[in-house]
Structure 1
């Protein structure tokens, strides 16, 4: 191989390596649980570090099952057809903020069942990372106990 060919191969390899390392990132979230009251709206904060655009990345928010997302952003689109039914119409990304690496999830009208662990997975195609965020839901809960005393049902 002549020196020109070696130079071009080295340049191509360097460009590939630099391109790969420019997409290495972490997904950063809060160091403690996020607290919300039943019925309120909440933001589960997550962002890329260093700050790079996530606009062309895949962003998946999920609970236990990766294949049942709370929210899916893929191929520059929000994909509600893959979303868990319990979250339908209650979630959003700040799509205008994706350019700044903001991948936070907005959850509206929080329910008791929304409490627990959330995972935000971000995939650039060359690199992926995730962060885990706990949502604690507080509120006034009514407890009912029912028992039957034929022919009467008593609710306390």
Structure 2
């Protein structure tokens, strides 16, 4: 053993990793990067085992290593390669723009030799740590998705064996705008990539909502200015003033009623839609009840308007709001009970 010289060398740079010479290890001559990290198995040297133990492996340790053995009669060598096992996840560098109601794809590709059954993928909305979709044990788990994304997200199943875990988000809504993260776990490795969904354009429903809001606002201003002008002009009859007053009461509120109904179709908030629609539907009744020119109305109209006093209006509004709220709570409780049973 005293005549042997064994050296481990980093092949790409001829860096001395470790050396055995004159019957002992020579750590003092090894490269500084490997000091206290590379050593032999001392008790195995007498059996001819000069395997190298490399502690605290780093990414820069990746490469080819050559073990060269010299004796007085002969020499030989063997080569070992260290591959740095990494999990590479890539996505799109650009933010994604879409129109309301469209389907979008959030890109996430996994470059790894690890099979899908050993990969765990989570798509998360970062601003509230909302779970969008989850993949585990080679299965997509749609029931784990948050309620607002359930039945609207999916993977491209045929592309999963190729490492494609891109997310398809269907019927994009305004509230979907934000940053999404694709988190990938495989064994002890993890990596992630983020995708931003922004600049959601207006759909035809949104344009219709804006139209009715603009019509309500501009119409109210125009009618109010006309009413003020007519009141200060002595030649205008009371019937004209009454017609303007009635138009000012009804037209803007009816426009806002349609605006909130259309908004309910686009955003899907049942409680807010019903509440606001009920408010704008009942508001003209309250205003008509306080109208100064009741004498211009017919007797049956006066009786009908007086019947809907403020107390009745708010009673109706309260019943509508709480009935919708209660039905929504009962529906959520029913869904929760079904999931507990399953």
TM-score normalised according to structure 1 size: 0.75
Question: RCO greater where, 1 or 2, for CA within 8 Å and sep 6 or more?
Answer: 1
State the secondary structure of the residue aligned to 2:154.
strand
The equivalent residue for 2:193 is 131
What value does the CA root-mean-square deviation take over the aligned residues?
3.2
Is contact 1:70–1:83 with CA below 8 Å preserved after alignment? yes
Question: 1:43 matched to which residue of 2?
Answer: 105
Q: Whose radius of gyration is greater, 1 or 2?
A: 2
Whole-angstrom CA distance in 2 between matches of 1:90 and 1:36: 15
Give per-residue Cα distances to partners, 1:8-42, cap 9 Å, x unaligned.
896xxxxxx989833x1222111110111111111
Indicate if the aligned counterparts of 1:40 and 1:110 stay in contact, CA closer than 8 A. Answer: yes
Q: Which residue of 2 aligns with 1:13?
A: none
| Counterpart check, 1:151 vs 2:286 | yes
| Aligned partner of residue 86 in structure 1, secondary structure | coil
Flag the structure with higher strand content: 1
2:147 match: 85
Post-superposition offset of 1:152: 4.3
Point out the structure with the larger helix share: 2
1:119 paired residue number: 181
Unpaired stretches in structure 1, ≥5 consecutive residues: 11-16
The number of equivalent residue pairs is 147
Unaligned runs of 5+ in 2: 1-42, 54-61, 63-80, 214-255, 258-279, 289-342
Pairwise CA distance, 1:150: 5.9
TM-score, normalised to structure 2, is 0.37
Distance 1:54 1:117, change over 3 A: farther
Q: Residues 153 and 168 of structure 2 are in contact (CA less than 8 Å); yes or no, is this contact kept in structure 1? A: yes
